[in-house]
Structure 1
Amino acid sequence: MGIYQYGDDNTYSAEDYIEEEIPPAEGVKPNQLVSGKVPKGDGVLTIGTLLPQSGDLAFLGPPEFAGVDLAVQEINEAGGVLGKPVKQVKADSGDGTPNIAPSETDKLLRGGADAIIGAASSSVSLSVIDRITGAGVVHFSPANTSTAFDTYADNGLYFRTAPSDVMQGSVMANLVLGDGYDNVALLVRQDSYGEALAENVTKFFEESGGTVVSTQLYDPNAASYSAEVSEIAGQDPDAVVLIAFDETKKIVPELIEAGLGQK
């Protein structure tokens, strides 16, 4: 995993590369093998995209949709699949508030999707994974990191390219310790993504000799985060690990006001 640092001129360069291993699962369980009734195909490969067009992760949507569009274009320019062009059906995953993903997933399944790409959010994917894999359809995410997927009963149909939080937690812990911080506080989005990553950051940080002085979970829809920030400030940490989405831009000013900004 590469660690990049932005400069004052808004350009960035690689500062460090950290290698970690994800511990192997204790064997593959029967409910993780391809099983169940596989739907009969119609001879046309149809890709469904369940990606964020709205919500806190909407800024991720355009490049993710563009990636799928490019892949479909290149496949079709090369002759398609089984001599037929690949089709695409699109849907909005949202961010879980409100939870529109299940109904959007149903739209993709009705549209004949053979594989569904998305969601970006781990929590959103967890809300639809049973719908997708239960229909015998491949479920693939370019962004899910929650450890909940590590051994999920997915009938062998769930895949992702983002590393599990087991790895990301270790990388974050090593990065913070490498920067010289021994006592940290965690301010964490209360959802599948935030809680799983926080758990692994804490585990690896403490195993390496660091101390987590406070862990504060917050509601991403809250109007203010002053209570959580005040609690952290009272513990006087060396650094704060913030695990957040778009609400970061509201949280950081509160951290700075509480004297927890970069010195």
Structure 2
Amino acid sequence: MGIFEYADDNTYAPENFVTGEIPDVAEVAAGQKVSGKAAKGDGTLTIGTLLPQSGDLAFLGPPEFAGVDMAVQEINEAGGVLGKDVKQVKADSGDGTPNIAPSETDKLLRGGADAIIGAASSSVSLSVIDKITGAGVVQISPANTSTAFDTYDDGGLYFRTAPSDVLQGSVMANLVLEDGYDNVAILARQDSYGEALADNVEKFFTESGGTVVSKKLYDPNAANFSAEVNAIAAEDPDAIVLISFDETKKIVPELIKAGLGQKQD
């Protein structure tokens, strides 16, 4: 996992790369074994994309769609699959507010998707995983990290290319400790992504001798976050672990206002 650090001029560069391990599960759970319920194909490989065109994660959409477009292009230039071009159907996952992903998933399934790439958000994927895998269709996320998927009953049809929060939590905790901070506060969005990562940061941080003086979960749709920020400020932490999406743009000014931001000369 690569760690990037911002300099005083707001440019960033890789600080280091950390190799971690996620413990293997002794046995695959019954609900995670390949069940043989894959949908019957029609002879043409169709890839569906359930990625963010709207919502807080829309900035992730263009490169994710581009990656799928490039893969389909290269496969077809090499002769396709079974002599036929791969087809693609696209849908907007949104960010869960409102929850448009289920209806968009229906569109992909009606379009004959054999595999669906997405969603980016763990919460969004959890809202459609049963619909997708229940239809015998493979789901592959490029960004889901929630530990909820570690043992999810998916019939062996769900995959992800991002590491679980078990790894991310360990890396974050070690980074904070290596920077010399022993007493930290955690401020995280209240959803499957934020809660899981916050729990793992807390677990690994405290196991390594650190103290979490406060852990606050917030509603990402709130108008402001001053109450949560002021509650954390009252605990006088050495550092803050912020786990958020686009609402970071509202939270950081609140942190600075409360005297918790980057010190200015």
SS of residue matched to 1:203: helix
Kindly report the root-mean-square deviation, in angstroms, between the aligned alpha carbons of the 2 structures.
1.0
The answer to whether structure 1 residue 118 and structure 2 residue 83 are counterparts is: no
Q: Using the TM superposition, give the Cα deviation of residue 4 of structure 1 relative to its aligned residue in structure 2, in angstroms.
A: 1.6
Provide the residue aligned with 2:259 in structure 1. 259
SS of residue matched to 1:202: helix
The answer to whether structure 1 residue 5 and structure 2 residue 14 are counterparts is: no
Q: Using the TM superposition, give the Cα deviation of residue 19 of structure 1 relative to its aligned residue in structure 2, in angstroms.
A: 1.9
SS of residue matched to 1:156: coil
Provide the residue aligned with 1:161 in structure 2. 161
Distance 1:258 1:13, change over 3 A: same
**Is 1:116–1:137's contact at 8 Å kept on the other side of the alignment?**
yes
**Is 1:95–1:124's contact at 8 Å kept on the other side of the alignment?**
yes
| Matching of residues 1-263 of structure 1 within 5 Å | 1-7=1-7, 11-263=11-263
**Identical residues among aligned pairs (%):** 83
2-structure distance, mates of 1:12, 1:247: 21
Q: CA deviation digits over 1:10-30, x for unaligned, max 9? A: 543321222221111231012
Q: Using the TM superposition, give the Cα deviation of residue 65 of structure 1 relative to its aligned residue in structure 2, in angstroms.
A: 0.3
Normalised to the residue count of structure 2, the TM-score between the two structures is 0.97
SS of residue matched to 2:206: helix
Aligned residue type for 2:43: G
Q: CA deviation digits over 1:21-59, x for unaligned, max 9? A: 111123101211111532211100000000000000000
User: Gaps spanning 5+ residues in structure 1: where?
Assistant: none
1-structure distance, mates of 2:2, 2:239: 21
> 65-74 vs 32-41, which deviates more?
32-41
User: Gaps spanning 5+ residues in structure 2: where?
Assistant: none
Aligned residue type for 1:192: S
Aligned residues: 263
Aligned residue type for 1:181: Y
**Is 1:25–1:151's contact at 8 Å kept on the other side of the alignment?**
no
Q: Using the TM superposition, give the Cα deviation of residue 74 of structure 1 relative to its aligned residue in structure 2, in angstroms.
A: 0.4
2-structure distance, mates of 1:125, 1:70: 23
Aligned residue type for 2:2: G
